[in-house]
Chains A and B, each alone.
Chain A
Amino acid sequence: MSDGALNPSAELPRARRAAVGRSLGGAVRKRIGANASLTLGCVIFGTMLLIAALASVIAPFNPDTQDIPHALTAPGVEGHLLGTDQLGRDVLSRLLYGARIDIFIACGSVLFPFAIGLIVGMLAGYRGGWVDSVLVGIIDIVFAFPALVLLVALVFVLGPGIGTIVIAITLTDWVSYAQLSRTSSRREGTQEYILAARTGGIPTRRILFRHVLPNIIVQPIVLATSDALLIIIAITTLGFLGLGVPPPAPDWGTMISEAQPYLNVQWWLAVAPGVAIIITGLGLSLIGDGLAAKLDVR
């Protein structure tokens, strides 16, 4: 048979062929040139993850050790590169350990809403009918509440703590993923290959997870990167309101909140965690932009 495509190497995607036989440096340069924001975002966020992982190694002091006589020292004094806070704790060390806690919570708080929202949205969009109506009703109700107010109320009721924050964010945040994946599952469900799978008698669960899911997952992933940023802001907001991670565990929002009274003298106490939040956020949104461009999200 000479159908023209029996030699599939002729039809390999150009990118894969291009990647063969070029130096590593060239390939890296090519990558960066092709998608600078994704690369830069990965570098920034990767550094943040590294800092979080190595906090215990690189932090010069114990973040929780108080030293009242040396409270509120200026940056650079006695080895405290960013000075000390009102209880004499090293700001840099708290910042580094804060990265660990905040990024950990943010990842957990993205994962659960992502998974729950994706499954609910997929069910609603694929099944349609009354299942869709009920689920869309629930989604709309959650959407109708201002997210932050709901979040604060939930944390207030459940009591502060890392687990509480993750639960509260999950309960408020899954709806955006659900709505997104519902729309795309609906569109995907009318595709012929889904019809083909149904004609073949493939079980619904398998159709959902093997056929629908891989084809709709790109948009939720892009949403997750920008969502992680919003969640870090939400966590720091909770910390600022005194509903965040319970002390003495370091958390950027709590640090900003505690620095308030000293803002006009020891301004670096608030600015340092603020800059950390901005850098992390920048990294995440660059990843989001880069992924959207790379994966061609419409």
Chain B
Amino acid sequence: MSVLTSESGAEGRDLLVVRDLRLGVGEGEGSFEPVVGAALRADRGEVVGVVGESGSGKSLMLRAIAGLLPPGVDYRGGEVTVGGIDVPHAKPADLHRLRGETVGMIFQEPMTALNPTMRIGTQIAEAARAHRDLGRGEAKARAIDLLGRMGFTEPARQYRLYPHELSGGMRQRVVIAIALAGEPALLLCDEPTTALDATVTMRVLDLIVGLVSDLDIGVVLVTHDLGVAARICDRIVVMYAGRMLEEGPADKVLRRPRHPYTLALLRAVPTRETTIEELRAIPGTPPVPQEQLPGCPFAPRCEFAEDACLREVRTVAIEDGRTTACRRHEVLAKMVEGAGV
């Protein structure tokens, strides 16, 4: 694949910047904001994991980055910049450049992400032609090349297969090939391995990691699986109730959490050593997005919470280039350092 060019990289800015992003649903009475103050940065050559439970606004934020909000959802504030394109205010021509050429996206369910009536090769070639002035033959050659890169052993023959003739893992590789056909600088992955079984998951993750170094692309990986995040992410962003709670290098965040929610998530992950008694569910339920609290969204369920937590929440920078939205992170730090997780 040819060397990808990007003006943003040359200027030394981040490929992707999301700052204080707010997304709203509806107008007037029933209006609410499922994403409030989301933040994210990603650059070439790194994998940024976004973890959080269902309904935390992860997927919505991802779609906001691609400029593809579902009907009824709109930008309410904040910044989304990808490769120099201001997404919420982009003109149609910029949006076309954004999709496929700057960002590619892969999805949770590889069966539904492929058109069942079209050959897989045609789908890849079509995505390539959407952005490059390629002839039919060139596009086909490019599709075959991509299939080979994705680990298909006979790409020239498998080019002609239909999605239903492939297993889940192979389908997900096709989805990745489509996403990469326009040579994007940033790959957005929305729970790419949730629908796959464990062994296939590992291969797909390895493939993604390989692409990051081979193609020098940036990856944003949305997942609720901390194991997946731990395996391939360089940095991790923890989201809860549409808000960023903690951000930092993956090993630091997962080993020494500086937010009680991250700690609670880690304690809820079963491992070979944990007994059922040690496994701790997080008490309570996440807030419904319609009830926006002024303070920390996690405070009602948090064992470290004090009164001030319910009144105000602020994101602070701490050591190792990390940030946390917990005002009591020092208390937490002492406890974690003392006892281990």
Contacts and interface: CB of A to CB of B under 8 A. Distances in A.
B275 interface: no
Interface residues of A, number: 27
Interface string B95-131: 0111111011101110011111110000000110011
A192 B107 contact: yes
Contacts of B103: 199
A3 B175 CA distance: 16
Contact of B200 (A3, A8, A191, A193): A3
B94 to A, nearest CB: 11
B115 A197 contact: yes
B204 to A, nearest CB: 10
B104 A200 contact: yes
Contacts of B280: none
A260 interface: no
A146 interface: no
Given A193-B114, A195-B107, A128 B71 contact: yes
A70 interface: no
B165 A192 contact: no
A199 B104 contact: yes
B68 interface: yes
B153 interface: yes
Given A8-B158, A198-B99, A201-B182, A3 B167 contact: yes
Interface string A29-42: 00000000000000
A4 B153 CA distance: 12
B203 A200 contact: no
Interface string A7-38: 01001110000000000000000000000000
A196 B175 contact: yes
B178 A200 contact: yes
A202 B127 contact: yes
A298 interface: no
A141 interface: no
A196 B113 contact: yes
Interface string A191-227: 1110111111111001000110011000000000000
Interface string B195-230: 000001001000000000000000000000000000
Contacts of B97: 201
A210 B126 contact: yes
A297 interface: no
Contacts of A215: 115-117
A13 B71 CA distance: 37
Interface string B56-90: 00000000001010010000000000000000000
Contacts of B170: 3, 5-6
17 contacts: A1-B153, A5-B165, A6-B170, A196-B107, A198-B99, A199-B104, A200-B99, A200-B179, A201-B98, A201-B99, A201-B100, A206-B126, A206-B130, A211-B115, A211-B118, A214-B115, A215-B117
Which 8 pairs from chain A and chain B are nearest by CB? A5-B167, A201-B100, A214-B117, A201-B99, A199-B105, A200-B127, A192-B112, A200-B100
Given A3-B167, A200-B181, 10 more contacts: A4-B169, A5-B166, A5-B169, A6-B152, A11-B165, A196-B178, A197-B127, A199-B100, A210-B118, A214-B117
